[in-house]
Structure 1
Amino acid sequence: MTRLLKTIVTALLSLSLLAALAAYWGWQQVQGFADAPLSLDSPIEFKVERGTSAKALGRQLVAQKLLADNWQYPWLLRLQPELGAIRSGLYQVEPGTKLRQLLALLVSGKTKVFSVTLVEGLTVKEWQSQLQTAAHLSWVEQPFLKTLQDNGDTSGLPEGKFFPDTYSYHADDSVLDLLGQSHRKMLQELNSAWAQRAAGLPLKDPYELLILASIIEKETGRADERPLIAAVFINRLQRKMRLQTDPTVIYGMGERFKGNISRKDLLEATPFNTYRIDGLPPTPIAAPGRAALMAAAQPAAADYLYFVSRNDGSHVFSVSLAEHNRAVNQFQRKAQ
């Protein structure tokens, strides 16, 4: 081998070595860049719009000051092209998240999950106010009525027909999807309670059971008392006695209720004044939970016809009017 040829080979080997060293250095730079935490001091919601490419995402990260302007990002996508298959949506990003982890999250499509709890004992109007302020939930007007219509219910009476529970959703999901779940769950729970009802109940159909359950829900929050409250109302219905329950009066008063019921209110003729009407009111007055539905379906085996509050969340139950009046004197009139 001539001296010139040796020189050329040596030069080529040196250049190859330098190229290899440069490539290794570049690879290390890219890997270090990918495993460095984003510039993030607190959790954020990070939105990837539909149609955003991985390259556009890099510009978005720089614009939002999560990454410094860099040369490593395009090279990371070349070295690991699978990290570029990002999906749109709203993501929760925590402090300490690395770029590689962020890209893996966006590739997974595991968008942020939100939840809303529809509390038992509340009305459709109260739930609507809550849902209107729920984060990232797509709103439509009259969602409860629209949900009923979408499910074949044209009655125009949404009260009580949605099950109280915690529901999950993703950003920009429609409120109709959430309420659809709630409505279908109420139908399921109501039909289950109706199928398990005790024999001889003075209730014509599942809707009447739903109405009664809503009253039970409003009368007590104590699990041990629900079957007893149900027994009182069932016994009164069987004896053709009026229910005389304050929550129905309050519901019928609507916005006029300011915290107290007057004698005039009890004498007012409204469809919901059970001091004036016979039987059940025309619709539920709130959303009953599973326990209230089952209490209406399976009331306690008790002869009670009356109950009065002890002012501590519990009630005194009585068989006779004389017993009831004594309890009223003890727990209500003395407290006034």
Structure 2
Amino acid sequence: MALRVLFLNDTQLDPASPRLEASFDDTQVALHPSTIFYLIKHLGVCPIFLSNITITPWLLDTGNALFKTYKQDTSNQGSKSLSSVQGFFCYSVRGRPAHAWYKHDLELGKSTYIIQYCPEGTKTNLMRWATAPNKATRRLALRPMLLETMIIDEVAWNWSKGVVENARKLLAYEHLAPEQYGDGLLSSAVHDLHNLSQHFYIMQEELNGIAEQLEYLGKVHSLISSTLHTKWVVIRGGESSTSVVDSLLFLQSRTRNWHRWVQNWRERTNVRINLFFNLATTKIATETRRDSSSMITIAALTLLFLPGTFISGLFSMPFFQTAPQRLEAGSKRMANGLRLVDLSRCSRFHSQLLSSLSGSCG
């Protein structure tokens, strides 16, 4: 058997509502210890990969691994030749962390895969090619690194749908006319745009990961292609008329282009956030200035129509300074814009006035 693929149990999702019923920590793979022992002993699965899919928290994304096995070259004493290549990489399917392990036996021409959360499109195409009546079509599935390339292609395409959806939301805000900037829009636009900016940040990092995985797969493909043995060519159906490396190069270019546009949309989202924030600040300042003008108008009307109240309030304020101070006779001081009269003169004038009134009455 030239190709073996083991699909781990997947969590089925409704296409209309692609959300898990439980958290990612509760949906990790559960393998019996005897199964783990069999995979390690008989298939040569790397224990690190099994640890990543069973006990490692999903927040700690697994990197890309490559392990090579050499054997002594009988035709050339003292030299070694590459006998097998195995490794694993991580990806995400609609937000769910997923992993894939592979091993390519270059001597026997066999490839073995263990895939967690294989994308449905990749699984469908693989089954269609493997069961095709035409032998030439079946050989398409035996091309080196084909399955890995199909997985990353579908993962990137799934993320592109979210990119387009969020870009359309941003364009809707950018195409608004100035007269549409109402109170209801200003109150909700900043929050919505912050969510868009967050989504663009996540998509940008996902595309960074996809670009890194494509570069990694390209190096693995070059390593395998440069050391293909005669038995590999015979078992895998001879030289193919097409090469997977061409698809990898195309996917790299496409991912870089998407990443560039996601970064552009993220920056434009931040520009739009600043615009709406400034509009809201200007509106608040205008309302505050309008309230201040209203208060001044009310004060002016009070002065015009209620002079008695104004004067009474004015003269009820304390104008005289009653603190003891050293004052010269006949001196006059100013306080609060009014003339202060010497308190001693006021007392003497009051006494003389009382004497005059007493004499008149007599």
Q: In which range does the TM-score fall when normalised by the shorter chain?
A: under 0.3
Structure with max Cα Rg: 2
- Please identify which structure carries the higher strand content: 2
TM-score by length of 1: 0.22
TM-score by length of 2: 0.21
